Amino acid sequence: MPHNSIWTRIKAKWRDFLNAISYKQKVALTTLSGIAVGLVILFMYLLRMHTYIIGDDPAACINCHIMSPYYATWSHSSHGRDVTCNDCHVPNDNIAAHYAFKGIDGMKHVAYFVTHSEHQAIQAESMSDEVIMDNCIRCHKQLNQEFVKTGRIDYMEAKRGEGKACWDCHRNVPHMGKNSLSSTPNAEFVEPIPPSPVPGWLQRALGHDPGPYAE
């Protein structure tokens, strides 16, 4: 079969490569590979990746402090009782789309955070807008399809001006409008920011104050 043929060729090429390099080069290659794998694992640990993958706890979203205002406003809204971040902000029609979108969107947030390129007031992008509106319609299906006709308008129709998006009317649901970081200075005390996973001795070696709870 073609698949087996490709896999056989790959294994043959790899075997030829290993035979062509010296013992020292093999040691160096193994060492560099181990370092690369270790750095990836460390990066995932520092990001608290497991909190994003396992479960739907909204507190995972405030691993980045820039999300504190949105956690605080959500927790005080009507949605705070029964709805998680994932219920609104990622696709829920199938598990593949759910985790694919979650991964792409999450890494985009990481890139913004690491490069300090986030805006003072964060706003959903077009791709996220469509997901959010789809979830509004999904959760409120009986209300906005049987009683009124709003649920028969999707995001792309609203974008073309053929109707209104949900938030054109419900402007304060659930984050009470746009909240900038500077306008909500104490948001992190609603749900305390998780302590740094970096050991205290390493923080001190890097010249940082590890705080009173560091090991």
Pair 8, 95 in one domain: no
Asked whether residue 19 is domain-assigned, the answer is: yes
In residues, how long is the chain? 215
Pair 173, 101 in one domain: yes
Q: What is the pLDDT of residues 44-86, one digit of tens each?
A: 887 777 777 777 888 888 877 778 888 888 888 888 888 999 9
Indicate the pLDDT class of residue 215, thresholds 50, 70 and 90.
low
Who contacts 92 (Cβ-Cβ below 8 Å, separation ≥6)? 86, 98, 135, 138
Q: 140 near 146, Cβ under 8 Å?
A: no
Asked whether residue 95 is domain-assigned, the answer is: yes
Cβ of 73: how many Cβ atoms within 10 Å? 20
Higher pLDDT, 149 or 44: 44
Pair 71, 16 in one domain: no
Asked whether residue 114 is domain-assigned, the answer is: yes
> What is the overall mean pLDDT for the chain?
81
pLDDT at position 213 is: 47
User: Would you say residue 34 has pLDDT above 90?
Assistant: yes
What is the end-to-end Cα distance of the chain in Å, rounded? 56
Question: Stretch 19-35: mean pLDDT, rounded?
Answer: 91
Pair 25, 107 in one domain: no
User: Would you say residue 17 has pLDDT above 50?
Assistant: yes
Indicate the pLDDT class of residue 30, thresholds 50, 70 and 90.
very high
Number of folded domains in the chain?
Answer: 2
Range of the domain at 27: 2-44
Asked whether residue 51 is domain-assigned, the answer is: no
Pair 34, 128 in one domain: no
pLDDT at position 33 is: 94
Asked whether residue 123 is domain-assigned, the answer is: yes
CA distances from 212 to 195, 196, 215 (A): 10, 12, 9
Give the CATH number, domain containing residue 173: 1.10.3820.10
Who contacts 53 (Cβ-Cβ below 8 Å, separation ≥6)? none
pLDDT at position 194 is: 67
Among 157, 101, 96, residue whose Cα is nearest residue 127: 101
Pair 99, 158 in one domain: yes
Pair 31, 79 in one domain: no
Q: What is the pLDDT of residues 167-193, one digit of tens each?
A: 888 888 888 776 666 666 677 666 666
Transcribe 46-115 into DSSP letters. HTTHHHHHSS--GGGGGGSGGGHHHHHHHHTSGGGTT--HHHHHS--S-HHHHHHHHHHHHHHHHHHHHT
Q: What is the pLDDT of residues 81-113, one digit of tens each?
A: 889 999 999 999 888 999 899 888 888 887 887
